[in-house]
Amino acid sequence: MNSITQIELPTLNDHSIQQIFADAKQRVEDHYLEFTGTVLPHEAWALFQAGHAVIVDVRTNEERKFVGYVEDTIHIPWATGTALNRNPRFAKELENKVGKDKIILLLCRSGKRSAAAANVAFNAGFENIYNIEQGFEGDLDENNHRGVFNGWRFHNLPWRQE
């Protein structure tokens, strides 16, 4: 099942690409995070769609299967199972499947696990590692529901569910 609507993004030019990366770096500096930057979902989609970046989904197999996923992304779980046991081979798998020379955007449910994964990857020598803020489902609202005010799906970006 595809998302119901897909938004149209303006064509990226060199200036807009540079602005996305400058904003992403500023967001990280504002929060004293230890990785390259944080992009918003629509920025991630624009970069991915234009071929300027690779999206790596760090969620579990179960999350991708039951909640949905972004097509043509690479899957490397940050943690596995219901206990979310951390994948000790994450950085090595990232290097083997993507390489350190690519611009990598990490996606999880809400942007928290992907931020932790970005930190580990950055410290393992990945110089162009970005977190996708808000994640696939977004932050919890006051009723503990996701997807109500932010996240990939909230912004009507393309996704699939099997």
Residue 1: Cβ within 10 Å count: 8
pLDDT grade for 51, boundaries at 50, 70 and 90: very high
Kindly provide the b/e burial profile for residues 4-29, where b requires at least 16 CB atoms within 10 angstroms of the residue's own CB.
Answer: eeeeeeeebeeebbeebbeebeebbe
Span 101-155, pLDDT tens digits: 999 999 999 999 999 999 999 999 999 999 999 999 999 999 999 999 899 999 9
Span 71-112, pLDDT tens digits: 999 999 999 887 889 999 999 999 999 999 999 999 999 999
**Based on the structure, what is the number of domains in the chain?**
1
138 found inside a domain: no
149 found inside a domain: no
Bridge partners (DSSP) of residue 106 are 56, 131
97 found inside a domain: yes
Which CATH number is 49's domain given? Answer: 3.40.250.10
Span 8-20, pLDDT tens digits: 555 677 778 999 9
